[in-house]
Amino acid sequence: MQVTYWAEHAWLGTHVEPGVAIETTDGRITAVRTEVPSPPPGAVALRGLTLPGMANSHSHAFHRALRGRTQVGSGTFWTWRDVMYGVADRLTPDSYFALARATYAEMALAGISCVGEFHYVHHAPGGTPYADPNAMGEALIAAAAEAGVRITLLDTAYLSAGFGQAPNHHQLRFSDGTADAWAERAAALKPAGHARIGAAVHSVRAVPADQLATVAGWAKDREAPLHVHLSEQTAENDACQAAHGRTPTQLLADHGVLGPRTSAVHATHLTDEDISLLGGAGSTICMCPTTERDLADGIGPAVRLQRAGSPLSLGSDSHAVIDLLEEARAMELDERLRSRTRGHWTAAALLRAATEDGHASLGWGDAGRIEPGALADLTTVALDSVRTAGPSPRHGAETAVFAATGADVRHTVVGGRHVVRDGVHQLVPDVPRALADSIAALSG
């Protein structure tokens, strides 16, 4: 199928061009023509600023049911986790499909064309496998298809409650018992046109050190992405030091987990040596600023990590909000608060984290750019809303990052398919109702 999209303005990686014709065939960009002042005959007009589709590199879809609930009162990451377990306990393959479909549709409305789903709710409550051991993961893959987005299912090993501790009653449904059993089950997952399969170590506290290499080896053999929650909380660092005499980053390095296909999520509380190890390995760092501030995690050393050699990506994680433009903005603005200086990243650098580098971290190295050969994934941000009106279109990248929100997204194209048109999802007709109904089904 051939479709030509005409972008009123397009960000081409370094600058904004007016009047860009983007020709696509069978889901890929075949030509990009500039200096096209009006839509060619038969072209689909995208009014505003067109960017590559954005990649949400870290998602727990079921956390969307927590929005507005965990903001009541005070507490810590650990009290938040108790509320999260309550929702996880009630998930079934059918209810998870419904919630994930609605959540991924919300992502598409916010300009996200690909999601990295960090998936660890594998079994029935109590730990009994479903008749299809991958029923939950397959529900997520099906949900992404119905929402019209790509997915990398990061099937997650989660084997213990802490260093030397058996899973608690909530965590039994997360655990396969051993890394070998996890690997056998995960190997049965099948990729699809819109879906790729990756791996994840939930954290060093959830995968015993002597089983880390099994997960890393599984990903290496398949040249698959490997993600891991890293040093989100100082309590994890302290427990790791007590158990192993080293930091979580050092432990991962010792067991072959770090590398260019690895993404460390959060990486908030690091030593100088940790930063050198991550940067030297070329491991991507996935920052999730809206979740990190919601949970009072702290501000990670993203500037130093990037300087050490780590690419940066962005994720909405717990979905306190789903807005990759806000994640990009927050990474810069949080660093300004800490350092009391401005301008750590250009708008272009922040957009690369939200697009090209995010896709690469999820195993979609052929996405995140508007150029021939790339996947035809596009998102268009309005330049005439109350938030974005006024600046010159040549400052569209700065306007998108520092003023726009996901509510300003007008179009999302995934593989040449117009999934969101004029702010309306074409596959899920009433996304707010789908969210409300799927969340109500999990209320306890």
pLDDT score recorded for residue 88: 87
Which residues, including other chains, have CB under 8 Å from residue 195's CB and lie 6 or more apart? Answer: 141, 144, 145, 150, 151, 152, 153
pLDDT score recorded for residue 412: 98
pLDDT score recorded for residue 75: 64
pLDDT score recorded for residue 300: 97
Contact 157, 215 (CB under 8 A): yes
pLDDT score recorded for residue 213: 98
pLDDT score recorded for residue 86: 82
Which one of the listed residues 155, 176, 317, 334 is annotated catalytic?
A: 317
Selection from 342, 433, 361 nearest residue 56 by Cα: 361
Contact 315, 353 (CB under 8 A): no
Collect the ranges in the chain with pLDDT lower than 70: 70-79, 444
Pairing of the two strands 417-421 and 424-425: antiparallel
Query: Secondary structure of the chain: what % helix, strand, coil (to 5)?
Result: 40, 25, 40
Contact 77, 295 (CB under 8 A): yes
Cα–Cα distance measured from residue 155 to residue 228, given in angstroms and rounded to the nearest whole number: 11
pLDDT score recorded for residue 84: 81
Q: Left, alpha or beta for 368 (phi > 0: left; psi -120 to 50: alpha)?
A: left
Whether 266 sits among the annotated catalytic residues: the reply is yes
Find the DSSP H helices in 125-233.
135-147, 179-187, 209-222
Cα–Cα distance measured from residue 102 to residue 97, given in angstroms and rounded to the nearest whole number: 9
Which residues, including other chains, have CB under 8 Å from residue 26's CB and lie 6 or more apart? Answer: 1, 416
Which one of the listed residues 9, 229, 266, 359 is annotated catalytic?
A: 266
Which helix (H) or strand (E) is 330 found in, with range?
Answer: helix 324-339
Selection from 368, 376, 371 nearest residue 351 by Cα: 368
pTM of the model: 0.97
Cα–Cα distance measured from residue 379 to residue 401, given in angstroms and rounded to the nearest whole number: 13
Contact 375, 362 (CB under 8 A): no
Cα–Cα distance measured from residue 354 to residue 172, given in angstroms and rounded to the nearest whole number: 34
Whether 422 sits among the annotated catalytic residues: the reply is no
